[in-house]
Structure 1
Amino acid sequence: MMLALRMAVRELRGGLTGLRLLAICLFLGVAALAGVGSLGAAIDAALAGQGQAILGGDIAFDLNQRPANAIERAAMRGEGQVSQIIRMRAMIARPDGQEAILSELKAVDNAYPLYGRLTLEKGAIADRPRHDEVALGEALADRLRVRPGGQVRIGERLFRVAGVIADEPDRLGSGFAFGPTALVTLDSLEATRLIQPGSIYNVQYRIRIPAGSDPQAAIARINAASPDARWEVRDRSNGAPGARRFLERMGQFLVLVGLTALVVAGIGVGNGVTGYLEGKRSSIATLKALGASSRTIFLTYLFQILLVAAGGIAAGIIVGALLPPVITAVAGDALPIPPRLALYPAPLLTSAAYGLLTALLFAVIPLAQARRVRATTLFRGELEPVRGAGWAVITVAFLIAFAIAGLAVLTAKEPRLALWFIAAAVGLLALLTLVGGAVQRLAALLPRPRHPLARLTLANLHRPGAQTSRLVIALGLGLSLFATLAVVETNLSGQMATSIPKKAPSFFAIDIPYDGVDRFRQIVDGHAPGADIVTVPSLRGPVVAVRDQRVSDMKNIPDDAWILRGDRGLTYADTLPAGNRIVDGAWWPKDYAGPPLVSVDLRAAKALSLKVGDMLTVSVLGVEIPARIASLREIDWDSMGLNFGMIFSPSALAGAPHSYLATITLPDAKGEGGGGAAIATQERAINRDIARAFPSASLIRVKEVISTLGDLLGQLSTAVRAAASVAVAAGIAVLVGAIAAARRARTYDSVLLKLLGATRRQVLAMQAMEYAALAFIVAFIAFAVSVVGGWYVAVHVLGLEWAPDWTIVLLTLGIGAFLTIALGLIGSLPVLAARPASALRQL
């Protein structure tokens, strides 16, 4: 072994020629996995370490449209310190009423925050808002053009601005918001008179339990004391479920990218090692002639490969460890939570293990073939056939592959996803291998063309020693990767096009008073005659029973049964709303006054196996209302209309106190002419006068919602591009490696053709035709793979709608195919430059 190690080191002193591809591919694969793992560990550590501050406590209880009663509050106080928060949407206006902005109004008590610290920016007149004072988010203060000491109107009350919020510790745990925060005290909220019967608001209780106490045990005791509370419960381990879901989806995608980079890098390693060892056949034969044993040959080149692999792996680990701080510095705003920067050994060691096993997997068979090179190769040269590796070596390769698969499954947060990916990768490699063999056999069976170049091109695809299978695998992986990423990327951009209709409303209005609907219509008509105004009653309440079973007694609620989770939006109507289609049952007559009936969303009904005639019971302001299902509806949720999962017959809910929701579609927004300036003027006037007339109502500009969603999708798109760039780099490296691995054989062919009178242009044209034919064949497979793989990643991993841009996908395939031909021709330039005499001496 020492002799083999010395020989390996001495040969490496001459440079890494031939093994650069091995180092590059391992570097890219390990860097991708180490970076993904380190970033995931850093974000997980941040969520775990800041879980209490993000949630605002150790335990959170959320109620819709009601505060906790005395029994519930007593149960919570029995577990620790309690803080109460009320959140609702509200319009914040300048004192002169000239401008009003939608905000997320947050009323807090003196105990807030239980964890973390509320801080205001420099220049604040107080450290936190007091009675009749408000702290504004920076964006809100800028848009209203107010500064500390100024005044704003909230509801029916003027507030002095205490300062601009610098740090709101539980902001991430509050979930999605339509506007910036406005923070007031609980006693100040009552003076605004924003909370009226039917108003939409959320009451939150945060509990700080003693150190060492078990949050789940405390939750169980509180629930036992208040079995009918029907609140949403979270603990510090899941303080920001929305952010965690986003991170989990991105984590799954990043794992797929990392594993893809590893598979692609493995093919590159195989190409690099094979090409390197093929170039060493004469050296190996010489060593054999001098008495070196097969074992010495095997160990010598194994040590070479391991030494170079160690360098690539070490460089990949260093880059992966540095990735979280680099991403935080460059694109930290795109992350929902700043990562906790530190060195995380687990993902780094795992990545190193992946790299080492990958290097061994794709090197063991070429090494076994190299150790069986005969001394007669010195005399027969390229005519000496390459001997097989043997079943023992193939068995070892399978064991290594099994170890890689086991490591991927055991270390993945989603083992099933990793298992499916491994199966898909193996299936794709098997498919490409079969395609490569089929292309060779088909080329051998086709009639020989008359044109010499075409005849030579066809012969190159099936002659002995042809690189067809190797090129098909490399090209197939590269093109499939490029096309799949194009499908995912275009789904992100296409999400907005499919989710936002061309005739979306200009405004959503919420919390319109029951007796103010006519006045609301007059204001809108006064500023925008001909505007479409749709108003619907709005109530909230939970489903408390399905058929004869109480929801509180259900042990397993299906994931798609969203109507059972918390309070739901409820309404009543005498006619079927636009954008809804009855698929089972029938709508009630317009003058129906019988027992309560309800129409249910088809998807929610399927999740609960509901059918027409079943009973649903909802609780509205503490009154339980059983209703029989009269129909199931298919809802166009993308219409951005006022859609409800449950619509009741008017007699069921008309007597309950409630407010109204409305949509406003301005005439110009419907495409009836006018200009952007006129629309903006109408919007400002409607916004101003509605805020004056109805302080409790809130107007949501649809374009602001679209902008917010666009920002979220933009963050996701940025993360996808950044992560995919590593895999793309690995794919390009594999293409280059496959071409480089075939250089020796092509040099031999080129020299012979030149000796027979072929020109450089003819040799180049022949190779261009060969690469073009392979790229054309592989492009069809890559397209099919991208459709299936892109659909799964976009729909099931990232949770997007299926809306790829096929033009861009096909263009990506075309560019990838052109890149393949270009790289092939560039790689052929050294072959064309080879001088026959020199090349023949080397061969």
Structure 2
Amino acid sequence: MIPSATNIRNALRLARREIRGGFGGFYIFLACIALGTGAIAAVNSVSRAVTSAIADEGQSILAGDVRFELRNREASAEERAYIDSLGDVAVSDGLRSMARLEDGSQQSLAEVKAVDGAYPLYGDFVAEPAQPLPALLAKQGESFGAVAAPMLLERLGIKVGDELLLGNARLKLTGTIVTEPDTLSDGFGFAPRLLISRDALIASGLIQTGSLVEHAYKVRLTDPSQRATIIETTNKQFPNAGWSIRTSDRAAPQLTENVNRFSQFLTLVGLTALIVGGVGVANAVRAFLDSKRTTIASLKCLGAPASVVTMTYLFQIGFIACVGILIGLLFGAIAPLIAMRFLDGVLPVPKELAFYPSALWLAAVFGMLTTLAFAIVPLGQAREVPATALFREQGFDEGKLPSWPYLAATAILLAALASLAIFTADDRFIASVFLGAIAFAFVVLRLVAWGIRALARRSPRVHSAALRLAIGNIHRPGALTPSVVLSLGLGL
């Protein structure tokens, strides 16, 4: 039966008057909703800030508009002519090798990167001392210039100006690397970077049959509109080239995927916090409505329909939930600003403060669905409080479930919450397994709570009055044993 407009107005008026009394009894409720909502909002906002920065700074991260990568072979004459026709090209070669001192006293694995004079096409390479890269890598007498990560200098116990050997080539350290623009797109490194010229790499003799070398051709497109179709066009023209092609809008796909995976994991952690908080919500709503049983009975004695009573407290709970959600969203909105201070220099971050409404909306929907899913059953039980409760002490009957519409509404809300978690996840299988595990944990913990109460009920009588009361409160009607076990178990 749909409530009339009059009943809705009366319920809103009564709810407004109830709220004037403050949030007494609802502080745990507020904390649960604010914490869970804030966690989801913050995680998704930071994730989107990082992924958007990766997309926006794609040219600098890739050091080009397009990157062609070949393993263990250089581009053929025909392939190189095609690459050159696209625009300006910078060539680099990467491999791992041992850098060593001339006397052989120290050696260390290094991620060797050999570049030509066009590197980098985008972004800035910064070294200490601050000199142009071609000058730092220029040949000086019998030695080739080289710049290295500070960690390599520490491992070898050398300083700028000292010499080391790489294969057959003699290198002189002319500086240390401060910023390498395309380090993220080069992938995970197992050792410190050693940057040299391509002439130095040829002189080293390290490129031989069987050498594991990555040859990268980075292009600044003459026509930027080609980027959208460059992969399809190139693969159609060279179907057997075997190269990996990456464009600046997907400059660091592995990093983006890792950020998204990490975001999904933390979103599920936030959802867990919300579900654990949902148990707190149910307890808070139940305790609050239990304290209002005489008010509910009085309203019924005065002729208020049960629907008005239910809507009154539903509106009140909804309003308080909105306050908790707003607190969480405020934290989620400023989280990127806080996180950027710590992530700057480690991951790409936005240059300006930005808000991510979709992340905040998602967190708000999670928060409201959780509130309603866990509040409906206590509201349904409150609806059944009889008018006679005004004349005698009577709380909610723990074993009595509300009528089927409330159970159906709870089931629908829980299904909506699960569906939202699954369909907004990058990996729906992981999200489904996670939610299945949560449901299984609920069942197991309910059985554990039942076992604890059964043991308490059958425990031998003790002489201590305090201990006897404590054991009795574990299994008495209306005891919070199931809720406490659920909260502690899910939290653990």
Give the TM-score range, shorter chain. Answer: 0.7 to 0.9
Paired residues, what number?
474
**1:150/1:427 Cα in 2 relative to 1: closer, same or farther (>3 Å)?**
closer
| Aligned partner letter, 2:482 | S
C-alpha separation in 2, matches of 1:238 and 1:327:
23
C-alpha separation in 1, matches of 2:486 and 2:131:
68
Encode CA deviations 1:394-430: one digit per residue, 9 max, x unaligned: 1122222222222222222122222222232223223
| Aligned partner letter, 1:471 | V
> Match of 1:666?
none
> Match of 1:51?
58
> Match of 2:430?
417
| Aligned partner letter, 1:418 | A
User: Which of 254, 261, 271 is the matching residue for 1:259?
Assistant: 271
Q: CA deviation at 1:315?
A: 0.7
TM-score with structure 1 length normalisation?
0.52
Matched, 1:68 2:75: yes
**1:157/1:470 Cα in 2 relative to 1: closer, same or farther (>3 Å)?**
closer
Is the deviation greater in 19-28 or in 202-211? 202-211
> Match of 1:524?
none
| Aligned partner letter, 1:182 | L
**1:136/1:440 Cα in 2 relative to 1: closer, same or farther (>3 Å)?**
closer
Q: Secondary structure at the match of 1:389?
A: coil
> Match of 1:323?
335
C-alpha separation in 1, matches of 2:281 and 2:14:
22
User: Which of 383, 392, 411 is the matching residue for 1:398?
Assistant: 411
> Match of 2:149?
137
**1:470/1:239 Cα in 2 relative to 1: closer, same or farther (>3 Å)?**
same
> Match of 2:356?
344
> Match of 1:124?
130
> Match of 1:205?
217
C-alpha separation in 1, matches of 2:192 and 2:91:
20
Q: Secondary structure at the match of 1:380?
A: coil
| Aligned partner letter, 2:436 | A
User: Which of 460, 477, 480 is the matching residue for 1:449?
Assistant: 460
Q: CA deviation at 1:3?
A: 4.3
Asked if structure 2 preserves the Cα contact closer than 8 Å seen for 1:136 and 1:161, the reply is yes
Matched, 1:111 2:118: yes
| Aligned partner letter, 2:88 | Q
Matched, 1:8 2:15: yes
C-alpha separation in 2, matches of 1:230 and 1:277:
68
User: Which of 176, 184, 187 is the matching residue for 2:188?
Assistant: 176
Encode CA deviations 1:676-697: one digit per residue, 9 max, x unaligned: xxxxxxxxxxxxxxxxxxxxxx
**1:416/1:383 Cα in 2 relative to 1: closer, same or farther (>3 Å)?**
closer
**1:450/1:398 Cα in 2 relative to 1: closer, same or farther (>3 Å)?**
closer
Percent of pairs identical after alignment?
39
Q: CA deviation at 1:246?
A: 3.2
> Match of 1:502?
none
| Aligned partner letter, 1:370 | A
> Match of 2:441?
428
Q: CA deviation at 1:212?
A: 4.5
Encode CA deviations 1:92-145: one digit per residue, 9 max, x unaligned: 456776644432221112222222222223x33435434322232233345554
C-alpha separation in 1, matches of 2:308 and 2:435:
35
Matched, 1:235 2:247: yes
1:246-645 to structure 2, matched below 5 A, reads 246-330=258-342, 336-338=347-349, 342-382=354-394, 385=397, 388-437=401-450, 440=453, 446=458, 449-451=460-462, 460-478=473-491, 482=492
Q: CA deviation at 1:391?
A: 0.8
Asked if structure 2 preserves the Cα contact closer than 8 Å seen for 1:72 and 1:225, the reply is no
Q: CA deviation at 1:22?
A: 0.9
Q: What is the root-mean-square deviation of aligned Cα atoms in Å? A: 3.0
Q: Secondary structure at the match of 1:207?
A: strand
C-alpha separation in 2, matches of 1:419 and 1:363:
24
1:647-686 to structure 2, matched below 5 A, reads none
Q: CA deviation at 1:179?
A: 2.5
Is the deviation greater in 456-465 or in 361-370? 456-465
C-alpha separation in 2, matches of 1:125 and 1:95:
26
TM-score with structure 2 length normalisation?
0.85
**1:163/1:464 Cα in 2 relative to 1: closer, same or farther (>3 Å)?**
closer
C-alpha separation in 2, matches of 1:440 and 1:226:
72
Encode CA deviations 1:277-317: one digit per residue, 9 max, x unaligned: 11111222233334444333223222221221111111111
Q: CA deviation at 1:242?
A: 3.9
| Aligned partner letter, 2:117 | N
Asked if structure 2 preserves the Cα contact closer than 8 Å seen for 1:131 and 1:188, the reply is no
C-alpha separation in 1, matches of 2:73 and 2:228:
24
Asked if structure 1 preserves the Cα contact closer than 8 Å seen for 2:47 and 2:260, the reply is no
> Match of 1:30?
37
Ranges in structure 1 where 5+ consecutive residues have no aligned partner: 483-843
**1:279/1:231 Cα in 2 relative to 1: closer, same or farther (>3 Å)?**
same
> Match of 2:87?
80
Q: CA deviation at 1:388?
A: 4.1
C-alpha separation in 2, matches of 1:267 and 1:383:
19
Q: CA deviation at 1:451?
A: 3.4
| Aligned partner letter, 1:201 | V
Asked if structure 2 preserves the Cα contact closer than 8 Å seen for 1:124 and 1:164, the reply is no
Q: Secondary structure at the match of 1:465?
A: coil
Q: CA deviation at 1:344?
A: 0.7
Ranges in structure 2 where 5+ consecutive residues have no aligned partner: 1-7, 140-144
Q: Which has the higher contact order (CA 8 A, sep 6+)?
A: 2
Q: Secondary structure at the match of 2:80?
A: helix
**1:95/1:468 Cα in 2 relative to 1: closer, same or farther (>3 Å)?**
closer
1:738-777 to structure 2, matched below 5 A, reads none
Matched, 1:189 2:197: no
C-alpha separation in 2, matches of 1:315 and 1:258:
15
Asked if structure 1 preserves the Cα contact closer than 8 Å seen for 2:65 and 2:219, the reply is yes
Q: Secondary structure at the match of 2:402?
A: coil
Encode CA deviations 1:504-543: one digit per residue, 9 max, x unaligned: xxxxxxxxxxxxxxxxxxxxxxxxxxxxxxxxxxxxxxxx
**1:207/1:368 Cα in 2 relative to 1: closer, same or farther (>3 Å)?**
same
Q: Secondary structure at the match of 1:37?
A: helix
Q: CA deviation at 1:171?
A: 0.5
Matched, 1:20 2:27: yes
Q: Secondary structure at the match of 1:172?
A: coil
| Aligned partner letter, 2:269 | V
**1:468/1:131 Cα in 2 relative to 1: closer, same or farther (>3 Å)?**
closer
> Match of 1:694?
none
Encode CA deviations 1:722-742: one digit per residue, 9 max, x unaligned: xxxxxxxxxxxxxxxxxxxxx
C-alpha separation in 2, matches of 1:119 and 1:461:
67
**1:331/1:169 Cα in 2 relative to 1: closer, same or farther (>3 Å)?**
closer
Q: Secondary structure at the match of 1:206?
A: strand
C-alpha separation in 2, matches of 1:468 and 1:150:
71
Q: Secondary structure at the match of 2:118?
A: coil
Encode CA deviations 1:584-619: one digit per residue, 9 max, x unaligned: xxxxxxxxxxxxxxxxxxxxxxxxxxxxxxxxxxxx
C-alpha separation in 1, matches of 2:96 and 2:434:
43
**1:7/1:184 Cα in 2 relative to 1: closer, same or farther (>3 Å)?**
same
| Aligned partner letter, 2:130 | A
Q: Secondary structure at the match of 1:71?
A: helix
C-alpha separation in 2, matches of 1:476 and 1:392:
30
**1:381/1:217 Cα in 2 relative to 1: closer, same or farther (>3 Å)?**
same
Q: Secondary structure at the match of 2:299?
A: helix
C-alpha separation in 2, matches of 1:358 and 1:125:
58
Asked if structure 2 preserves the Cα contact closer than 8 Å seen for 1:75 and 1:225, the reply is no
> Match of 2:4?
none
